[in-house]
Amino acid sequence: MDAHGKELVFKVLNHEPVDQVPWVPFAGVHAGKLKGYTATELLTDKNRLIECLLEANHLYHADGQPIVFDLQVEVEILGCELVWVDKAPPAVNSHPLAATQDIPEKIPQPNEGRLPIILDACSALRNEVGEQTALFGLVTGPLTLASHLRGTGLFMDIIRDKNYVRSLLSYAKDVAIAMAGYYTSAGADIIAVVDPVVSQISPKAFTELLADPFQDIFRAIKDTGLFTSFFVCGDATKNIEPICMTRPDSIFVDENIDMIAAKQITDQHDIILGGNIPLTRVMLYGTQQDNMQYVIGLLDDLGMSNLIIAPGCDMPYDIPPENVIGIEQAVHEPASVRKMLENYKAARTDEPFELPDYEHLDKLLIEVFTIDSAMCAACGYMVNLANSAKEKFGEAIDIIEYKSIHIDNIKRAQTMGIKHMPCILINGKMKYSSIIPSQAEYFKEIETILNNQ
């Protein structure tokens, strides 16, 4: 009998032959849309969370699914203030270590913050669908957690004070291991360490600072008998090889990554690759057939082995459910979907977009292209860095964020040839793409341009 659901996910993670590829919808805040709840209502109420998770499970025929996709759970307990919105997870609004290099000692406990809601929901899902669906427990990775606590100052620390960074990351590692243990006790099958900020550092920095913490985390999880995963967002192409060296069972990536090139690397290390359906261009703004076609393209390019199909990251709240249903059909019934797509024609999204006259600007213009700084941690820190220049340079500069959750911003990015986010352009010229510079480097770049105008 062919394997499906949880058994299918487990077979892939164990490198056994399968008849089809597993499907794992990352319906985080989007699950709230299915029952008419805001992201805030979903993430702060156990009964609503369970209701929405079960709805997403049944509607999207999930082989695996996360409990929540929220990288602020731990740091809310550790003293970060959060800003809540209706259609995205909360965003970090304060950094307890911004003005100090203290190393915290507190480890979040399972009865603190929103952990009781999340862990109870995990146990409930285990009882309801745990035999059919592989449950992912998501914990915040050490670099992202450290960034939440320290703020953008962490990127200067990485250059100037590596010993402090190592100590802070060691603490963050201990938090991740504790969180993994809570999810294990609640019935999760796979622990995913989610660290989007990893895409913003160099392979050298990753190897020097993060290789050991990640290896320790994955070793601790595997010792409990669970599978492991590394979730990274943004253009982490340069870090795929170093990530593989930390030995997760699987790596999930987003649309910034060339899946064919990445899979050549992950296959060499016998690691499963997951992803990478584009969140906005395809899932949010595409048609159902666009979504089906994208998945068929992935299957054609990547084959059946060592692969899990999933969105690139946490699904935007307003994705049309019919698009996700189309993806599920393409994954589970590719032969019939191929017939449906015989007359498929992609809608045009590459119409030229009118851009500013960069040669005749009144002020220096800083443009930040993001997926959405409210949802993407790496995007958020890029925007925070960009905005920090306003206090120093004042009216001499203008700063604009273009979120790709808006169709006009997608067209703008396509017209400008922008392929990877987050990134910063100054006066229309790319300056920082998928790497967050130190504030000193960023300010020096602005000063040079202003002095030459």
Q: What is the DSSP string of 244-306?
A: HHT--SEEE--TTS-HHHHHHHHHHTT-EEEEEE-IIIIIITS-HHHHHHHHHHHHHHH-STT
Residue 348 pLDDT class (50, 70, 90 cuts): low
Q: Which burial class, exposed, middle or buried, applies to 181 when counting CB atoms under 10 A from its CB (0-12, 13-18, 19+)?
A: middle
Q: Cα 341–252–147 angle (5° rounding)?
A: 135
The reply to whether 301 and 428 lie within a common domain is no
Q: Are residues 17 and 148 in the same domain?
A: yes
- Look at residue 381 in the predicted model and tell me its pLDDT: 86
d(CA 348, CA 415): 13
- Measure the CA–CA gap between 236 and 256, rounded to whole angstroms: 8
The answer for residues whose C-beta is within 8 angstroms of residue 406's C-beta and 6 or more apart is none
Question: Do 326 and 384 lie in a common domain?
Answer: no
Sorted by sequence, the CB contacts under 8 Å of residue 284 that are 6+ apart come out as: 316, 318, 319, 320, 323, 405
- DSSP run (H or E) holding 227: strand 227-231
Distance CA 330, CA 259 (A): 18
Question: 340, 373, 407: which is the final residue of a domain?
Answer: 340
> Is 347 part of a structural domain of the chain?
no
Mean pLDDT of 335-344: 93
C-alpha triplet 368, 324, 138: angle, nearest 5°: 65
Looking at residue 349, what is its pLDDT? 56
**373 and 294 fall within a common domain:** no
Whether residue 335 has pLDDT greater than 60 = yes
Residue 348 lies in a domain: no
444 CB-side CA count, 13 A: 5
Of residues 105 and 436, which shows the higher confidence score? 105
In this predicted structure, which of 17-26, 345-354, 428-437 has the lowest mean pLDDT?
345-354
Q: Are residues 164 and 234 in the same domain?
A: yes
Give the end of a domain, one of 340, 371, 399: 340
State how far the Cα of 205 lies from the Cα of 223, in Å rounded to an integer. Answer: 27
The model carries a pTM of 0.90
Among 305, 340, 375, give the residue marking a domain's end: 340
Q: Mark whether 301 and 373 lie in a shared domain.
A: no
Position 350 pLDDT exceeds 70: no
Closest CA to 79 of 51, 53, 98: 98
Q: Of 106, 110, 125, whose CA–CA distance to 174 is shortest? A: 106
Question: What is the length of the chain?
Answer: 453
Q: Which of 202, 220, 206 is nearest to 169 (CA)?
A: 206
* Mean pLDDT of all residues in 228-248: 96
Q: Which residue has the tokens 């996360």?
A: 66
CA-CA distance, 123 to 127, in Å (whole number)?
6
* Residue at 218 is within a domain: yes
- What range defines the domain where residue 43 resides? 5-340
Would strands 91-92 and 227-231 be described as parallel, antiparallel, or unpaired?
Answer: unpaired
Q: Which two tokens stand for residue 335?
A: 């032969």
As for how many domains the chain has, the answer is 2
pLDDT tens sequence across 145-199: 999 999 989 999 999 999 999 999 999 999 999 999 999 999 999 999 999 999 9
Mean pLDDT computed over 19-46:
97
Residues 105 and 194 in one domain: yes
Give buried/exposed letters for 302-338 (b at 16+ CB in 10 A, else e): beeebbbbbbbbbbbbebbbebbbbbbbbbbebeebb
Same domain for 367 and 247: no
Contacts of 218 (CB under 8 A, 6+ apart): 193, 228, 246, 247, 248
380 and 267, same structural domain? no
DSSP, res 368: E
Instruction: State how far the Cα of 114 lies from the Cα of 26, in Å rounded to an integer.
Output: 20
Q: Is 42 buried (19+), middle (13-18) or exposed (0-12) by CB count in 10 A?
A: buried
Where does residue 387 rank: exposed (0-12), middle (13-18), buried (19+ CB within 10 A)? middle
CA 213 from centre of chain: 19
Residue 22 resides in a domain:
yes
pLDDT digits (tens, 9 = 90+) for 251-305: 999 999 999 999 999 999 999 999 999 999 999 999 999 999 999 999 999 999 9
Q: What is the pLDDT of residue 436?
A: 87
User: At residue 78, does pLDDT exceed 90?
Assistant: yes
Instruction: Answer yes or no: do 302 and 441 share one domain.
Output: no
Determine the pLDDT at residue 347: 67
d(CA 248, CA 213) in angstroms, rounded, equals: 12
CATH of the domain at 144: 3.20.20.210
Question: How far apart, in whole angstroms, are the C-alpha atoms of residue 182 and residue 111?
Answer: 10
Within a domain: residue 31? yes
Q: CATH code at 369?
A: 3.40.30.10
Calculate ∠ Cα 36-42-43, nearest 5°.
165
Co-location of 317 and 429 in the same domain: no
Residue 352 scores a pLDDT above 80: no
> What pLDDT, on a 0 to 100 scale, did the predictor assign at position 1?
34
Q: For residue 2, name the pLDDT band (cuts at 50, 70, 90).
A: low
Average pLDDT over the chain reads: 94
Q: 């082995």: which residue's tokens?
A: 305
38-62 tens-digit pLDDT: 999 999 999 999 999 999 999 999 9
Q: Which two tokens stand for residue 159?
A: 């250059």
Average pLDDT over residues 192-221: 97
Q: Which amino acid is at 317?
A: Y
Percent of the chain with pLDDT over 70: 98
Q: Are residues 363 and 297 in the same domain?
A: no
